[in-house]
């Protein structure tokens, strides 16, 4: 019986990869990659010459049976996403769940993920927090915002640049524009930046400065 290794990859600076991750990516029989082109750049940088197979949200269900068969046949397989830890707002959960169900060993390496550095550097309490990932785009979005408005823990959200202003505006509508927050972009990259202030101040900033890069939004809990 083989083992599935869940391997975090850098969210920005390629030096953030661990020595163990490099070794395993060289040793496994196969690397399951969210996008083989993106992972190809990483492998080339570290001179890793190994076979890759595409594994993303559109082919997850179809690919799982084949992957489980290979693991049961004794192959060790690594699962990576484009950036960060697979399964955290990225493909990965389904294959891990199936491995657990089928008695296949799963080992997740500790490593890069975007929300932890964003949360710690925000200056907002990090002892208790809830990770929401991406808010629903349509159905259920308003319901979720209503629930989060009453949340006493720090709230962690992911957002793409073209929806940052919309999300900040809606957060202000439901939580009040004086609620304290931080918007962190381009974690571990050259233009990494954290903007801190009230939701009103954040909205004002991004009305003047076009949002660029992937964002983590940290919002203080109610009555914090």
Show the 3-state SS of 172-203. HHHHCCCCEEEEEECCCCCCCEEEEEEHHHHH
Question: What was the pLDDT predicted at 60?
Answer: 79
Report the predicted TM-score, pTM, of the whole model to 2 decimal places: 0.92
Question: What was the pLDDT predicted at 224?
Answer: 65
Q: What is the CATH number of domain 3-108?
A: 3.40.1010.10
Domains 3-108 and 115-219 in one fold: no
150 DSSP 8-state letter: T
CA distances from 156 to 44, 84, 100, 130, 202 (A): 33, 16, 28, 6, 16
Question: What was the pLDDT predicted at 106?
Answer: 98
Question: What was the pLDDT predicted at 59?
Answer: 80
Sign of CA dihedral 95, 97, 102, 105: positive
Question: What was the pLDDT predicted at 57?
Answer: 78
Token couple for 163: 């929806």
Break the chain into its structural domains and give their ranges.
Answer: 3-108, 115-219
Q: Rounded to whole angstroms, how far apart are CA atoms 163 and 188?
A: 21
- Look at the block and give the residue holding tokens 């192959």: 75
- Look at the block and give the residue holding tokens 């949340």: 151
**pLDDT one digit per residue (tens) for the chain, 224 residues:** 999 999 999 999 999 999 999 999 999 999 999 999 999 999 999 999 999 999 987 887 888 999 999 999 999 999 999 999 999 998 899 999 999 999 999 999 999 999 999 999 999 999 999 999 999 998 999 999 999 999 999 999 999 999 999 999 999 999 999 999 999 999 999 999 999 999 999 999 999 999 999 999 999 999 86
Topology at the third CATH level for domain 115-219: 3.30.950
Token couple for 91: 């493909």
Question: What was the pLDDT predicted at 183?
Answer: 98
> In 145-175, which positions are buried (b, 16+ CB within 10 angstroms) versus exposed (e)?
beebbebebbbbbbbeeeebbebbbbbbebb
Residue 45 falls in which region: left (phi positive, over 0), alpha (psi -120 to 50) or beta: alpha
């Amino acid at each position: 019986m083989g083992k599935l290794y869940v391997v975090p990859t850098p969210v920005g600076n390629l030096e953030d990869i661990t020595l163990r991750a490099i070794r395993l990516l060289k040793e496994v029989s196969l690397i399951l990659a969210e996008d083989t082109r993106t992972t190809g750049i990483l492998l080339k940088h570290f001179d890793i010459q190994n076979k890759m197979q595409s594994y993303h949200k559109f082919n997850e269900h179809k690919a799982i049976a084949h992957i489980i068969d290979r693991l049961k046949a004794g192959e060790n397989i690594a699962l990576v996403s484009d950036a960060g830890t697979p399964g955290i707002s990225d493909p990965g959960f389904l294959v891990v769940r199936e491995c657990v169900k089928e008695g296949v060993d799963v080992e997740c390496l500790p490593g890069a993920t975007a929300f932890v550095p964003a949360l710690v550097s925000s200056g907002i309490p990090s002892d208790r927090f809830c990770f929401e990932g991406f808010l629903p785009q349509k159905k259920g979005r308003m319901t979720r915002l209503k629930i989060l408005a009453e949340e006493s823990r720090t709230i962690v959200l992911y957002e793409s640049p073209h929806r940052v202003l919309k999300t900040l505006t809606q957060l202000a509508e439901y939580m009040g524009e004086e609620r304290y927050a931080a918007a962190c972009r381009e974690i571990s990259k050259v233009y990494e930046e954290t903007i801190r202030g009230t939701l009103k101040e954040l909205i004002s900033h991004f009305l003047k400065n076009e949002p660029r890069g992937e964002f983590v939004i940290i919002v203080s809990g109610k009555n914090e």
